[in-house]
């Protein structure tokens, strides 16, 4: 193990954490890619690295020193499997933690010689990116579609989720015969930087300490997320993406892709999104962050090191956020004032109403799969997003000369990212001379409509992508007219 260079870190915007100047021992890990589906514990992860680095016996003797107490070390050794891996059974309550360092997806590692430059003024290395792919890349590498996930999404777009066991979060849009047809396109989806499903985030191990980063991870931005995605796309050898698509925070990434890499995006689909976060949305996010940080188990962001998890605070944050994803009409028609399995109020603070029970269920399922500090980081990234700010305050300049063709989609009942926000994007695209189509879909499903089987949205997406594919010269599918 050699030692890293002394790196000077300065105070950065975010949660008020300050970096200190120091030299730290680190593994110098070469660029590699491997699939971790046979790996269920962090010790396996480090053993794989040690095998590449040499001195395996000595590394294994010292391995336990890299692991903090619960939740990382609360594992039972099942067996020493054949080959170079050891299998561990994570404790049931830490199933979400398992995905941070041993994700059930493809993983790309960038070593110290491939740092990610961050808007905070520092670099992040080593860097891990967890991702999934679907379909096949054609010989010309012209059929790649990058799907960007929303706030609490991940790379599991169209496969069974490894934690929840549910179908992929966008299986209505991605798959054989879907608008993003995996028989035609090569689909890529990565977990964002700052996330908690395998890409480097606050719950990942800090090589400087051997402990989870916590708030020592620099605050990341939407632009940082896109830079990391570009590193992945470069590694895959793809010069130009056929399409970049995503909704909500994913839509912000789409816009940033076109602004940062206009020559690399043939078509773009920003859905239910905005070019900057509004004061109202920043306020909602701040309520959520304060709920997390007010939980006594948050411990200043050091809860993993201290063996606790701020589930109550994160649950409240999720409940508040989930309300913004729905419309008033949906809440009224689905729940109204219906009582939950009772004929009359209990005159207590139990969940008397069905809507209360629903929100509690959403909160419970969420804390099982998401990291509290990651919630702080991804909400902060959205809050900092203001695309026009990098272009003198004029959004049109961000798209000036853009060659991409756009399909901007909004939903009339979405009050989180209302139609007016999409119209502002369209006006800027028109001013910048871009080719753009726009549809505002009438539905009562609110912001979540882009995640659901919304017929007009599915038809719009299918038509736009089919036309773009013809313009790109991609071979049609069997059922598509030539």
pLDDT for the residue 92: 36
Half-sphere exposure of 390 (CA within 13 A, CB side): 17
Specify the residue for token string 């790379």.
Answer: 155
Closest to 211 in 3D by CA, of 112, 71, 76:
71
- For residue 27, the 8-state DSSP code is -
Cα 81 vs. chain centroid, distance in angstroms?
A: 32
Residues of 145-162 as b/e, b for ≥16 C-beta within 10 angstroms?
A: bbbbbbbbbbbbbbbebb
Note the pTM of the prediction, 2 decimals.
0.82
Residue of 414, 422, 448, 461 with catalytic role = 414
Q: What domains appear along the chain, each with residue ranges and CATH number?
A: 280-384 (1.10.1740.110)
Contact call for residues 163 and 153 (beta carbons, < 8 A): no
414 is catalytic: yes
* 3-state class (DSSP) for residue 23: coil
Helix, strand, coil percentages for the chain (3-state, nearest 5): 40, 15, 45
Q: What is the pLDDT of residue 457?
A: 98
- Asked if residues 31 and 110 have their Cβ atoms less than 8 Å apart, the reply is yes
Task: With a cut of 50, list the residues of the chain below it in pLDDT.
Answer: 1-94
What is the pLDDT at residue 99?
87
Q: Which residues of 381-416 are buried (b: 16+ CB within 10 A; e: fewer)?
A: bbbbbebbeeeeeebbbbbeebebbbbbbbbebbbb
3-state secondary structure 435-473: EEEEEEECCCCHHHHHHCCCHHHHHHHHHHHHHHHHHHC
> Within 13 Å of residue 408, how many CA atoms lie on the same side as its CB?
25
- Residue 482 is predicted with a pLDDT of 53
Strand (E) or helix (H) holding 87: strand 87-90
The answer to whether the beta carbons of residues 411 and 452 sit under 8 Å apart is no
CA dist., res. 468 & res. 180, Å (int): 12
Give SS3 for 330. helix
Q: 142, 374, 447, 448: which one is catalytic?
A: 447
Q: Which two structure tokens, joined as six digits, stand for 190?
A: 């990565």
Do the Cβ atoms of 104 and 98 come closer than 8 Å? no
Q: Which of 248, 374, 404, 422 is catalytic?
A: 248
Contact 458, 335 (CB under 8 A): no
Q: What is the pLDDT of residue 48?
A: 33
Exposure class string for 80-110: b at 16+ Cβ within 10 A, else e: eeeeebbbbebeeebebbbbbbbbbbbbbbb
Catalytic-residue membership of 248: yes
Averaged pLDDT score across all residues of the chain: 83
DSSP structure string for 235-255:
HTT-SSEEEEEEETHHHHHHH
């Amino acid at each position: 193990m050699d030692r890293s260079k002394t790196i000077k870190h300065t105070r950065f915007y975010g949660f008020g954490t300050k970096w200190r100047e120091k030299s730290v021992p680190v593994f110098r890990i070469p660029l590699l890619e491997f699939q971790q589906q046979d790996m269920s514990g962090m010790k396996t992860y480090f053993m794989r690295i040690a095998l590449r680095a040499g001195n395996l016996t000595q590394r294994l003797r010292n391995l336990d020193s890299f692991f903090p107490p619960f939740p990382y070390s609360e594992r039972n050794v099942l067996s020493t499997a054949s080959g170079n891996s050891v299998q561990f059974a994570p404790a049931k309550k830490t199933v979400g933690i398992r995905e941070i360092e041993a994700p059930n997806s493809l993983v790309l590692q960038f070593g110290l010689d491939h740092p990610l430059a961050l808007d905070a003024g520092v670099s992040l290395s080593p860097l891990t990116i967890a991702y999934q792919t679907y379909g096949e890349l054609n010989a010309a590498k012209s059929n790649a579609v990058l799907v960007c996930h929303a706030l609490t999404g991940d790379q599991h777009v169209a496969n069974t989720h490894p934690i929840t066991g549910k179908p992929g979060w966008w299986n209505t849009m991605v798959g054989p015969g879907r608008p993003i047809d995996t028989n035609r396109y090569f689909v890529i989806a990565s977990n964002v930087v700052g996330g908690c499903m395998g890409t480097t985030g606050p719950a990942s191990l800090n090589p400087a300490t051997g402990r989870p980063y916590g708030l020592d991870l620099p605050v990341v931005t939407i632009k940082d997320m896109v830079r990391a995605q570009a590193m992945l796309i470069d590694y895959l050898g793809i010069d130009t993406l056929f399409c970049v698509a995503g909704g909500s925070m994913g839509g912000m990434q789409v816009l940033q892709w076109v602004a940062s890499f206009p020559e690399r995006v043939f078509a773009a689909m920003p859905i239910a999104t905005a070019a900057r976060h509004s004061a109202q949305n920043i306020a909602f996010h701040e309520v959520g962050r304060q709920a997390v940080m007010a939980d006594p188990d948050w411990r200043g962001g050091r809860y993993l090191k201290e063996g606790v998890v701020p589930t109550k605070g994160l649950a409240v944050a999720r409940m508040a956020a989930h309300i913004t994803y729905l419309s008033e009409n949906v809440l009224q028609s689905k729940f109204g004032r219906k009582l939950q399995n009772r004929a009359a109020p209990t005159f207590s603070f139990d969940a008397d109403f069905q809507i209360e029970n629903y929100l509690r269920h959403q909160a419970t399922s969420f804390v099982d799969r998401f990291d509290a500090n990651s919630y702080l980081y991804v909400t902060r990234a959205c809050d900092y997003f203001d695309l026009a700010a990098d272009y003198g305050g004029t959004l049109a300049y961000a798209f000036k000369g853009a060659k991409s063709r756009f399909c901007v989609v909004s939903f009339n009942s979405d009050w989180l990212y209302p139609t007016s926000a999409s119209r502002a994007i369209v006006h800027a695209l028109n001013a910048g001379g871009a080719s753009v189509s726009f549809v505002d879909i009438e539905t009562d499903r609110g912001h979540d409509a882009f995640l659901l089987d919304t017929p007009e949205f599915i038809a719009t997406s299918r038509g736009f992508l089919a036309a773009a594919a013809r313009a790109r010269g991609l071979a049609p599918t069997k059922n598509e007219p030539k």
